[in-house]
Amino acid sequence: SAKKKKQNIHCSWIPSINITCLTFQENIPEITAMGTCSMGHFFIMELVGRNLSDLRRQLPHRRLSPGTLYRAMLQVTHALSLVHGAGFLHRDLKPSNCCIGVDHVTRIYLLDYGLARQYIDSSGLMRKPRESIGMRGTLRYVSLEAHARHDLGPSHDLVALLYSIIELGDGRLPWSKMRDEAAIKASKMGTTVEKLCEKQPKMLKMAEVAFLSVIDDIATSPTVAEAEICELQ
């Protein structure tokens, strides 16, 4: 209904407008205007180009070259470190939310903060986890924590980033053609890290192992882990 749609616009506005503190940062699209209309709040951001998912599908082998993938990974990691550093989680990181620039085609922008949530309070501490939440994100890329309906932390975004990198480099994930959540979850649980990364070039495989180390660290020490994310760049 129109009433429900207006409520959804209002809800998504709160995290999205808070993210505007990151505008003018590299790899974050610039917010050029904001305000309200009859349907609710709105903001206008700079025009960007095609997303990485569409670009991958246009290529002959439906995958990015190792060099292109590595450069894209560094830029998305940088954008994510800015979001986390501002105290927010993205919660819907995926290739279709990463776009090239129009004027700067070698620059990658991280988009779509409609599911973003502030996880650091005003005193700089992590907010207490909620006992149960609904699904947040896109099934193909979410962490097992999301499948379990647990409250999410920064490691969730890193898992989504890792899955995105592997899909862009391999052309698919083991569960890419699955639609049932239970089947996707089972496939994720049954796929080892070695199996997931086996087709990746050595350079990328080393970076992915580093990501896994950070994912473990970030669950217990977000501040230290954020510094480690920056070091990955």
What are the residue numbers of the active site? 92
CB-neighbour burial class of residue 123 (10 A; exposed 0-12, middle 13-18, buried 19+): exposed
Query: How far is residue 166's CA from residue 163's CA, in Å, rounded to a whole number?
Result: 5
Angle value at C-alpha 75, between 47 and 181, nearest 5 degrees: 85
CB-neighbour burial class of residue 58 (10 A; exposed 0-12, middle 13-18, buried 19+): exposed
Place of tokens 């988009």: 111
Torsion of CA 132, 137, 142, 148, to 10 degrees: 20
| Extended strands (E) in 46-110 | 48-51, 88-89, 98-101, 108-110
> Among 183, 133, 179, which Cα is nearest to 156's?
133
Tokens of 105: 């085609």
